[in-house]
């Protein structure tokens, strides 16, 4: 049986924590589709969908059973369209679990045939979030330990003028 898993997210931007979860999922499933949301009701992403997809593609190019797709629908509908039976979510802290558990229950109601599997963050990435990375980068801090070099460079290029500089 060919087991397909989706790893959905905004990936704004992709971090080493995301990549770690994707790599680990790629060892558990026959095929992993990293599903990058191209629309969001929650927030306006820093990077547009094509940039985020390209960042993720470059970050997972070494994984032969992983591909990247954009989606702009309910994740359950997207997963069904791919023939996926599993959604993989990374968890950094108990606060992530609270939100993800609620989402898993909603998704289970919408698509009972699709299971949600949680992978705990590796310790070195347990504090890394995309929003935290964006904030550190906006203030001129180094994010090189948390994101691929090309993402760090893109964040530096997006840094607002005057932010984080000494008057």
20: alpha, beta or left? (left if phi > 0; alpha if psi -120 to 50): alpha
Exposed/middle/buried for 166, CB within 10 Å: 0-12, 13-18, 19+?
A: exposed
User: Which two three-digit tokens encode residue 134?
Assistant: 């964006």
Active site residue 3: no
Q: Rounded to an integer, what distance in angstroms lies between the CA atom of residue 16 and that of residue 111?
A: 30
Is 92 known to be catalytic? yes
Is residue 78 flagged as an active site residue? no
Alpha-carbon distance of 20 to 59, in angstroms, equals: 10
CA distances from 51 to 6, 17, 34, 42 (A): 20, 18, 14, 19
The pair of structure tokens assigned to 57 is 């593609």
Contacts of 139 (CB under 8 A, 6+ apart): 163, 164
The verdict on whether 42 is a catalytic residue reads: yes
Instruction: Choose the catalytic residue: 26, 35, 59, 130.
Output: 130
* Residue of 18, 52, 78, 134 marked active site: 18
Catalytic residue, from 27, 42, 109, 161: name it: 42
Of 92, 108, 158, 159, the active-site residue reads 92
| Enzyme catalytic residues | 18, 42, 92, 130
């Amino acid at each position: 049986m060919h087991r397909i898993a989706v790893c959905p997210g905004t990936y704004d931007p992709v971090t080493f924590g995301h990549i770690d979860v994707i790599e680990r999922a790629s060892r558990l499933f026959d095929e992993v589709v990293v599903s990058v949301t191209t629309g969001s009701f929650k927030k306006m992403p820093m990077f547009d969908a094509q940039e985020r997809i390209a960042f993720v593609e470059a970050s997972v190019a070494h994984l032969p059973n992983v591909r990247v797709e954009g989606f702009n629908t309910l994740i359950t509908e997207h997963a069904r369209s791919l023939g996926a039976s599993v959604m993989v979510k990374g968890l950094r802290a108990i606060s992530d679990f609270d939100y993800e558990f609620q989402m898993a229950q909603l998704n289970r109601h919408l698509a009972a045939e699709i299971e949600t599997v949680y992978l705990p963050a590796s310790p070195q990435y347990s504090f890394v979030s995309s929003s935290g990375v964006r904030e550190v980068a906006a203030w001129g801090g180094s994010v090189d330990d948390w994101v691929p070099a090309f993402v760090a460079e893109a964040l530096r290029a997006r840094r607002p003028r005057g932010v984080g500089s000494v008057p």
